Amino acid sequence: MKAEKTLNGILQLMWKHRVVYSLLIPGLVWYTIFAYGPMSGLSLAFKTFKANLGIWGSPWIGFNNFENVFTDPAFLKSVWRTLYINFGRLIFQFPAPIIVALLLNEIRFPKAKKIFQTILTFPHFLSWVVIASVLLNFLAYNGLVNSLIMMFGFNSINFLGNPRTFQPFLYITEIWKNSGWGAIIYLAAIAGIDMDQYEAAEIDGANRFQKIFRITIPNIVPTIVVMFILTSGNLMTTGFDQIFNLSNAAVHNVSETIDMYIYRITFRGATDFGFSTAVSLFRSTINLILLLIADRCAKMMGSAGLIG
């Protein structure tokens, strides 16, 4: 009875604000068609796909695909390599937009601030195909950088084919490309801080660094926590475009993440959509587990978290 009253109250509230709720309809339609509809294809993880029978007509084989997945040494290596690379992203890349936002916020000249923000945001709109082509021209054996090095009598350096430098190279290029774009969220959070706090701190004689660490950062912590949780929920899927375009045969052993593994087994070998779907389902499950763990850790540290 109580649940029925609660439901009626919600429906009455929605009807009262029906104009506002109607704005959600395009988004709900999009998610239904392009996000939730394709989930029916996950049943392939438990089937042997037969093109003439289609997804629904293909025979069920239970967990055989998962047994094959977990007995493949290349799959297990790709999982650990993905976690290793992406935990590094959390350490080195995640703070970068926060730092950029704090630095931009300290620029006192509006025109200069807009110029720097435009410069830092622009790389986000370049595709990794373009960036990889530019880097190849600059860092290849016969590229601009090596040409300058050899001009001064030194040996050329294999920038793009060195397994030891490939991972740092990923972090550097990702920070350059997306830090300015990611900083927009934190700049919006900073813009919402009550200016009275800064005025009171200035009266008390606080300098810029004290304002940053005592006012700005504490006020944007909720935004940082939400972004951290969302980033943690994508640790198994981040960076495919970047790695796909920057990797080569010389760095294969350190560049095959789980997304690259899925690409290889799907398009470079004997096609087995059931096997590929099983890997994708496992990847999504791990992402969900990491999201829940990050949310729980945030709540344990006193944050509101993301999931109620």
pLDDT number for residue 308: 57
Q: Give the pLDDT band (50/70/90) at residue 237.
A: confident
Residues pairing with 47 in the sheet: 60
> Quick one: which of 173, 257, 256, 182 has its CA closest to 224?
182
Amino acid in the structure at residue 291: L
- Share of residues in the chain with pLDDT > 70 (%): 96
**C-beta atoms surrounding 252 within 10 Å:** 12
Taking the C-alpha atoms of residue 119 and residue 96, their distance in angstroms, rounded to an integer, is 15
Q: Give the pLDDT band (50/70/90) at residue 42.
A: confident
Taking the C-alpha atoms of residue 81 and residue 239, their distance in angstroms, rounded to an integer, is 12
* Least reliable range by pLDDT among 25-29, 38-42, 278-282: 38-42
Domain 66-300 - what CATH class?
Answer: mainly alpha
Predicted TM-score of the model (pTM): 0.84
Q: What mean pLDDT comes out for the span 150-173?
A: 86
Taking the C-alpha atoms of residue 259 and residue 277, their distance in angstroms, rounded to an integer, is 12
Taking the C-alpha atoms of residue 124 and residue 274, their distance in angstroms, rounded to an integer, is 35
Question: HEC profile for the chain?
Answer: CHHHHHHHHHHHHHHHCHHHHHCCHHHHHHHHHHHHHHHHHHHHHHECCECCCHHHHCCECCCHHHHHHHCCHHHHHHHHHHHHHHHHHHHHCCHHHHHHHHHHHCCCCHHHHHHHHHHHHHHHHCCHHHHHHHHHHHHCCCCHHHHHHHHCCCCCCCCCCCHHHHHHHHHHHHHHHHHHHHHHHHHHHHHCCCHHHHHHHHHCCCCHHHHHHHHHHHHHHHHHHHHHHHHHCCCCCCCHHHHHHHCCHHHHHHHCCHHHHHHHHHHCCCCCHHHHHHHHHHHHHHHHHHHHHHHHHHHHCCCCCCCC
pLDDT number for residue 39: 83
pLDDT number for residue 296: 87
Mean pLDDT rounded to a whole number for the chain: 88
Residue 179 near residue 97 (C-beta atoms within 8 A): yes
pLDDT number for residue 116: 93
pLDDT in tens, 128-141: 999 998 888 888 87
Return the ∠ at Cα 102 (arms to 202 and 215), rounded to 5°. Answer: 40
Break the chain into its structural domains and give their ranges: 1-31, 66-300
pLDDT in tens, 269-303: 667 788 888 998 999 899 989 888 888 888 887 77
Taking the C-alpha atoms of residue 94 and residue 75, their distance in angstroms, rounded to an integer, is 27
pLDDT in tens, 189-219: 999 998 899 889 888 888 888 999 999 999 9
pLDDT number for residue 219: 92
**C-beta atoms surrounding 70 within 10 Å:** 13
